[in-house]
Amino acid sequence: MNNLPANSGHSRGRGRGKKPNEELSRGLVPQLGHAPVPQQAEARRPMSNPATQGVTGAAEGDTRGSVRGRRLITEIVRSRPSGLLTKMGTTGKPITVQTNYFKFLKRPNWSLYQYRVDFSPDVDNTFLRQGLLREHSNILGGYIFDGSVLFCTTKFKDTPNSPYVLDLLTKSRSGENISIKIRSVGIVEAMDPQQLQVLNLILRRAMEGLQLQIVSRNYFDPQAKIVLDSKHRMELWPGYITSIRQHESDFLLCTEIAHKVMRTDTLYQILSKNIRENDDYQGAFKREIIGMIVLTDYNNKTYRVDDVAFESSPMSTFSTKDGEISYVEYYKKRYNIIIRDHKQPLVVSRPSEKNIRGGADQLIMLIPELARATGLTDGMRSDFQLMKAMGEHTRIAPDRRIDRLRAFNQRLQKSESSVNMLKSWNVELDSALVEIRARVLPPQKIVFGGQRRFLCDARADWTYECRKDAMFTNVDIKRWYVITPSRSKHEVQQFVKLCMQASGGMKLRMSEPRYEEISDDRNGTYSQAIDSAAAKDPQIVMIVIKSPNEEKYSCIKKRTCVDRPVPSQVVTLKTIAPRPDRSSGLMSIATKVVIQMNAKLMGAPWMIELPIDGLMTVGFDVCHSSKNKNKSYGAFVATMDMKSSTRYFSSVTEHMKGQELSNQILMNMTCALKAYREHHGSLPDRILFFRDGVGDGQLNQVFNIEVKFLKTRLDEIYKSAGREKGCNLAFIVVTKRINTRYFVNKRNPEPGTIVDDVITLPERYDFYLVSQAIKQGTVSPTNYNVLHDSMGLNADKIQILTYKMTHMYYNWSGTCRVPAVCQYAHKLAFLIAESIHRAPSSGLENQLFFL
């Protein structure tokens, strides 16, 4: 393959971000708007701080509204049943909420001609493309141009014997002749769905008048930057994510406040640091930057670093149609950039599969001094003061968020160039945030042992009640082992006593454990101790490690989940060791450990009131492998009717990138039904399936393939069992990564706040639900899209049932952002993808061993 410098056709951005870990040992703050990240008992491998999750990602956010580099108008999936009279519920207290949407007072009524624009030789900078085309505005008339697609009010005549309607000639800054070829594509009528693409382009042009800078796909304000840390050379740029979409009855503009972490250090500066500090600077440099996403300012593109070519330099040459040229000459000629160090190595970025399918299979070579590092390093994430400072700026309270949304609107309405742009296209935006009617669902009753009930309040938290009441069902822990380093045995014994004391308050009988002491903390030593303990048939094994360690955690989990399957509880000495400042906190930790151990042994810490018998709830989620980016793991978790059983069924299947999941979901579902029938003697009356991990681009595949295959197969199973009506199934897609926010009197809405009109989509059977309470920042709702429903329940009951399911996540004595089975599926998929990399033993499939 030829090696080419970075260009617009080969950029690769960041994929789906890692999700927050749930570990006690680090005392992390919950990611705002996501499922709570409780301070729980199971110690996990080091991960990115949830306080920073969504900070850099917020700049990417929902891709609706993006145009260049990502398709805006995808095929609309019309999942709303034709016979559905209303998707609005009725239960709950009516309230009025403000949203982060603005209404269009004037909708354009025009027809536009759409053209494709190509540059020869290619120009990969969008702003330069726009500037070159602007020189011919007298020919084009009124137009809007995103860098590749031109929408114009003028219809140009076809040119004989040429596919192009116009072939314009211009010059670059260096004097090079550039041909601009314009080809007709089609017409956008007034009511054409592609009108949304045009409106988004018009809005983006209007936002250019606000003196904002585009980074990747969204606009940020470098003038308002916040210098976070001079040591790490980090800045925080505030900005906006915008998207225009047809909602129930109006075109609405969704505006979300975003922040982008901008690092000022280049790969060249990182290289220089490694040369100064390491004898093997090449190895250290590779370890630090491989896998990193870098930004090249000259074309505003991002690339993933895959390798470093120390044998190459900017003086190396590559082939062009005009002959060989060095990278030094290329950047001087193309961008008027002078490369200063001619001896620096080149950084390699491999083309993505999408690039290869498009015929671009060359390696992309980057110049370290022109590539800026992005994202956070492990050192930054472990810097508590840095993360705290970042959180203070990114966790915006509702009142401040509303003020900033209004300020954005005022800037747009007062900027002369912005106003002129909107007026020239006959577009007018309302200055007020959209207000709509919503409902707060009744609080749920949590059921403990002895049928004692607790009515949730606005905190949606029952931690205190867990400590003083018996758990719903207990599994007495009579045979268990504790594996601990010998030198830490005393501290571990003190913690075990606290666990036994806490278990007594929850009416769970816990016997004294057997201790397996190890002389050192090497991985092999832990493996031998696990083998020794597992051979004595314990119910559960507690394993103590000194501090969070990814390699050690993976070794332990592989041993206990695959090789010698036994439920395990990993805790860190840092978490459980007594300290003068945390004597009361240790009892809280011990309580959580006992709750978690009980859940892993098929006990149930609490239950909710369920009005439906014979209900199986299912969660499915996908996580990508940390070792092989082309490999993913789909996790399936199902309940065995929570009204009469506390058992679960779980399964994990491996699949390659791009592989359809329908066969694996069908296989998992068949196994779950078999387990249900063995347990109850019959099939479930209803199945409520929550599908997580679906982006807008995958919705069509899920709707037309997964749901169809699943429904067909389930009907076959049910009819063969004598149920001629088939299976009563509801299939709901759960989406967390959304930009929608809503507020009540400038405060966060209460848990249970439902929005099912105005900002929902007319082609969908959907609703928004806030199910959790947060203490800092703005809560983020979750979107639920019902793709199929044959359960016979109306919209009201579907909403209530969904809300109930957010109360059943046993790692957190409160509600979480998604139904519990979704969170369980994520936990299982994440464990396999990050630590185990293979399917767990089938002997654990009925236990929540992955908590």
Q: Which residues are catalytic?
A: 621, 692
Residue 562 is given by DSSP the state I
- What is the distance between the alpha carbons of residues 811 and 43, in angstroms, rounded to a whole number? 12
- What is the distance between the alpha carbons of residues 17 and 433, in angstroms, rounded to a whole number? 30
For the four alpha carbons of 109, 110, 116 and 120, in that order, the dihedral sign comes to negative
Q: Which helix (H) or strand (E) holds 328?
A: helix 327-335
CB 468 within 8 A of CB 504: no
The closest of 182, 163, 147 to 68, measured between CA atoms, is 147
Exposure letters 417-446 (e unless 16+ CB within 10 A, then b): ebeebbeebebbbbeebbebebbbbebbeb
* Half-sphere exposure at residue 154, Cβ-oriented, CA atoms within 13 angstroms: 14
Strand partners, 655: 632
C-beta pairs of 124-128 under 8 Å, 24+ apart in sequence: 124/7, 124/8, 124/9, 124/299, 124/301, 125/8, 125/298, 125/299, 125/300, 125/335, 126/8, 126/68, 126/214, 126/300, 128/172
The closest of 413, 409, 415 to 433, measured between CA atoms, is 409
Q: Which helix (H) or strand (E) holds 114?
A: strand 112-120
Query: What are the C-alpha distances in Å from 821 to residues 137, 636, 826, 837?
Result: 56, 9, 9, 21
- What is the distance between the alpha carbons of residues 324 and 317, in angstroms, rounded to a whole number? 6
**Who's near 802: CB < 8 A, 6+ residues apart?**
732, 769, 784, 819
By CB atoms closer than 10 A (0-12, 13-18, 19+), residue 138 is exposed
- Secondary structure in 3-state letters for 341-362: CCCCCEEEECCCHHHHHCCCCC
- What is the distance between the alpha carbons of residues 342 and 340, in angstroms, rounded to a whole number? 6
Going by their DSSP bridges, the two strands 540-545 and 514-518 should be labelled as unpaired
Query: What are the C-alpha distances in Å from 303 to residues 291, 326, 339, 546, 692?
Result: 10, 21, 19, 37, 28
CB 810 within 8 A of CB 824: no
CB-CB neighbours of 459 under 10 Å: 14
E strands within 121-230?
143-145, 149-152, 166-171, 177-188, 213-215, 218-220, 226-229
For the four alpha carbons of 316, 318, 324 and 328, in that order, the dihedral sign comes to negative
- What is the distance between the alpha carbons of residues 495 and 74, in angstroms, rounded to a whole number? 55
The closest of 345, 377, 110, 61 to 215, measured between CA atoms, is 61
The closest of 211, 736, 813, 845 to 459, measured between CA atoms, is 813
Looking at residue 114, its amino acid is Q
Residue 788 CA, distance from chain mean position: 24
- What is the distance between the alpha carbons of residues 7 and 296, in angstroms, rounded to a whole number? 10
- What is the distance between the alpha carbons of residues 154 and 663, in angstroms, rounded to a whole number? 50
Tell me how far apart the 2 most distant CA atoms of the chain are, in Å.
91
* Half-sphere exposure at residue 686, Cβ-oriented, CA atoms within 13 angstroms: 19
- What is the distance between the alpha carbons of residues 275 and 160, in angstroms, rounded to a whole number? 61
- What is the distance between the alpha carbons of residues 19 and 386, in angstroms, rounded to a whole number? 20
- What is the distance between the alpha carbons of residues 636 and 824, in angstroms, rounded to a whole number? 9
